[in-house]
Amino acid sequence: MKVEELKNKFVEVYGEGEISGFFSPGRVNLIGEHTDYNGGFVFPCALSFGTYCLVRKNNENVFRFASLNVENSEELTLDKLTTPLDKGNWVNYPLGTIAQFVKSGHEINAGVDFLFYGNVPNGAGLSSSASLEIATAVAVNDLFGFGVDQVDLVKMGQKAEHEFAGVNCGIMDQFASGMGAADSAIFLNCDTLEYELVPVKLDGVKIVISNTNSPHSLGSGEYNERVAQCQAAVEALKPYTKINQLADISWDEFKKLEDKIEDETVRRRARHVVSEIERTVEAVDALKAGNLEVFGKLMNASHDSLRDDYEVTGNELDAMVEEARKIEGVIGSRMTGGGFGGSTVSLVKDEAVDDFIQQVGANYKKRTYINPEFYVAEIGQGGHKIF
């Protein structure tokens, strides 16, 4: 949808007047999965699709939320800005973000009309919710002139997810949505939040996202269960080494100590995380050296570890990856995001992209009876004002 159309829709819903517009992207993670809440490394990039947020202050001391994607809209008085709505209500994402401004002492002294439009496919594991949070954060920050730093806006988005959606997520999605830069992936240390923008110059290769159309749902509790299992692994290792989070232990040391983790499932969860952190560092080195073959192998190893040790893939993601790897010209393929459905990310040589979409699409459908969708990723810019 074009910006002009969005403005017209805003006028249809709220009437004439000055409007400001903001955009914040979804993300695809190239490697470094389920490492962020363990203080490890991730390597996501912001996409060119995301959430648009159009806003205007009103004189009625109410916050109104409407979306072009969902029917349900809400109107809340200023004293209701820190109270979550019913579980499952999409307004919890923007509201949870606004609540962080209030809670951190920023005075909201006027009502606002919001109109959202997102073109990140919902449930595709491409962070539609983070893009909604960061679009809101950037808009409110600008509208009230709060001057909050972009990284702090990112943290507010993450808190919204914890407090208003009940998902104890790491910082990756909001960070990618807030801090992404065109044609770059973000090599982020999720412990210190130090980061490096690494140019993604893939000569003759495309990043292809395959949406299984099997919606992932982080609210399912499995995500929080993984977070808790990682904490259990840290507790089990504490008597033997100095450790506060799984990122504190190297792969070599982990191999020596892993038998100390008695619970076999918890041990496998930790094995994924510690090995994935190492793979992420190696993958970034490989990309910088222009060695896409190595990068692709590490992507494959990442998926296999998420499938066997972390157990967050499931039939659809595994089928999509298996079919992708059969195509000549595929350099690497793995699930991306939280898992349990959602999307995969593959590096595909230019000349193989059409075959990839056609053959992987047909074979995936044969196996799962679901129609997949494919997108050739364009790496976009993090949350910003558009007008």
- Terminal C-alpha separation, the chain: 15
CB of 176 to ligand GLA, least distance (A): 9
CB of 169 to ligand GLA, least distance (A): 3
Contact letters (x/-) for ligand GLA, 19-38, by CB under 6 A?
--------------xx-xx-
Under DSSP, the state recorded for 48 is E
CB of 318 to ligand GLA, least distance (A): 17
Closest CB to ligand GLA among residues 185, 353: 185
At residue 224, what is the residue type?
Answer: N
**What is the rounded distance in angstroms from the CA atom of residue 30 to the CA atom of residue 198?**
12
Select from 62-70, 169-177, 253-261, 277-285 the region that touches ligand GLA (CB under 6 A).
169-177
**What is the rounded distance in angstroms from the CA atom of residue 229 to the CA atom of residue 164?**
22
CB-based contacts of 65, cutoff 8 Å, min separation 6? 73, 74, 75, 76, 91, 94, 95, 114, 116
Contact letters (x/-) for ligand GLA, 317-346, by CB under 6 A?
--------------------xx--------
Q: Is 173 in the site for ligand GLA (CB under 6 A)?
A: yes
Q: How far is CA 207 from CA 172, 211, 214, 348, 356, in A?
A: 19, 13, 20, 6, 12
Select from 3-11, 167-175, 178-186, 325-333 the region that touches ligand GLA (CB under 6 A).
167-175
Closest CB to ligand GLA among residues 170, 380: 170
Contact letters (x/-) for ligand GLA, 113-152, by CB under 6 A?
----------------------------------------
Spatial CA neighbour of 249 closest among 274, 269, 279: 274
Question: Where do the H-state alpha helices sit in 238-380?
Answer: 251-257, 264-288, 292-308, 315-325, 353-355, 361-368
CB of 131 to ligand GLA, least distance (A): 12
CB of 146 to ligand GLA, least distance (A): 25
340 sits in the region (left: phi over 0; alpha: psi -120 to 50; else beta) called left
Query: Which of 113, 173, 309, 318 does the annotation list as catalytic?
Result: 173
Specify the residue for token string 């959602």: 342
Tokens of 289: 């050296």
Burial of 20 from C-beta contacts in 10 A (0-12 / 13-18 / 19+): middle
Backbone angles phi, psi at 92, to 5 degrees: -55, -30
Q: Is 248 a catalytic residue?
A: no
Closest CB to ligand GLA among residues 113, 173: 173
What is the footprint of ligand GLA within residues 195-224 (CB under 6 A)? Answer: none
| Cα atoms found within 13 Å of the Cα of residue 68, Cβ hemisphere only | 21
Closest CB to ligand GLA among residues 21, 125: 125
Residues binding ligand GLA: what is the number (CB under 6 A)?
10
What is the footprint of ligand GLA within residues 33-62 (CB under 6 A)? Answer: 33-34, 36-37
CB of 84 to ligand GLA, least distance (A): 18
- For ligand GLA, the binding residues (CB under 6 A) are 33-34, 36-37, 169-170, 172-173, 337-338
Active site residues: 173
